[in-house]
Amino acid sequence: MRKVELGKTGEQIPVLGQGTWGIKSRKGKDYYDSWKKSLRKGIELGLTHIDTAEFYGLGTSEKIVGEIISEYNRDDLFITSKLFPMHFNFRTMKKAASKSLKRLGIKNFDLYLIHWPSPFTSVEKQMNILDHLVKEGKTRYIGVSNFSVEQFKEGLSFLNTELVTNQLPANITKQKHISESLPYYQENGVTLTAYSPLGHRGYSTLKGELRDKLNIIAKTHNATIQQIAIAWLINHKNVMTVPKAFKIEHVESNAKAAEINLSEEELKIIENTVDS
């Protein structure tokens, strides 16, 4: 599995991780077993970065990921989780982080993010908790999610350490952050983590010129359009992605996308066609 440097940390992590958004609470054993099998297959294929959040399934995702972590050498995995902006002060934010660690069954996160900029809590307060968690050894690295470039810059002004990533919605039909935000992150040694790289339906209903061009590129690389969509993201400098996959065959397909090298011309063909 090809790797990418996380920010300016020197840490090399898989350019392709595993997302867990969509895991639901109060489902049956077969449902959760399917998720676990998919996560295990991903780890086997080198997708050792697992991305979760307290909000996903109201803690269920972290519990499932925690069960998986217990089966492996902790040092072989890179675990990211996120603080949801419903916690309004330092005490409740710290408590939420501790609960996430408990659900995951680990002593520290590898990466901990602010899930959304809070409309109720200042950016300064949100950065204070991240700084504190780093000092306490509860997380190795910190970042944000769904922040604008200006909010990201504001966050940096309150920190004694670096934000290593901003996790943003980015894919072939939502290219704004690739075209408008990524240049700033590239210039400043920050990793953009793209979530929902296949949209919410895996482009099964994608039509029009973009579909036609993806088909041509996919044929050239003996790949699917989904693999080309993922490859398009991770062929950009300073970009990694965390697709979710509920089935083993989807995990296997995603992993193969990391092996695809697109030409500059192919990248531009997709960049210049955004209809869906």
> 191 forms bridges with which residues in the sheet?
165
> 82 forms bridges with which residues in the sheet?
113
- Residue 124 tokens read as 């300064």
What pLDDT score was predicted for residue 4? 96
Separation between Cα atoms, residue 53 and residue 257, nearest integer Å: 25
- pLDDT means per 10 residues, the chain with 276 residues, are 96 97 87 94 98 96 97 98 92 97 98 94 95 97 98 96 97 96 98 94 89 96 97 98 94 96 96 68
What pLDDT score was predicted for residue 274? 66
What pLDDT score was predicted for residue 252? 97
Alpha-carbon torsion angle 31, 34, 39, 45, nearest 10:
-160
The CATH class of the 3-202+238-261 domain is alpha beta
What pLDDT score was predicted for residue 276? 43
8-state DSSP, 59: G
Residue among 224, 253, 254, 256 nearest 241 (CA): 254
Residue among 145, 142, 88 nearest 119 (CA): 88
Provide the pairing of β-strand 18-19 with 12-14: unpaired
Q: pTM for this structure?
A: 0.96
Domain range list for the chain: 3-202+238-261
